[in-house]
Amino acid sequence: MRVVRETSKEGIRISLFEWNNKYLLKFDSGMAEQTFKVPAIDVLDEKDFDQLFEGQFFENVKERFDEMHQSLHIALENI
């Protein structure tokens, strides 16, 4: 697995990997992570991923993290 790029935005760590003819786009926040697999054939240039680090896609990632953190918090309270 090759690390293509790592960055951070709004407290979310963003990592882009290339592996097995796919790109793995990984977002980490707190105790949760989200990974998206994109076939390499669908990407003309690695810079195309820049648009996924902003706009509606990134807003959806942040909302999903909020839901994941709330869900984990509730589950841990019930242990």
pLDDT digits (tens, 9 = 90+) for 9-36: 999 999 999 999 999 999 999 999 999 9
The domain containing residue 10 runs over which residues? 2-77
Distance CA 10, CA 40 (A): 27
Asked if residue 23 lies in contact with residue 38, where contact means CB atoms within 8 angstroms, the answer is yes
What does the pLDDT average to over 49-69?
94
pLDDT at residue 40 in the model: 93
- Can you tell me the distance from the alpha carbon of 3 to that of 45, in angstroms, rounded to the nearest whole number? 15
* pTM for the predicted model, two decimal places: 0.89
Total domains in the fold of the chain: 1
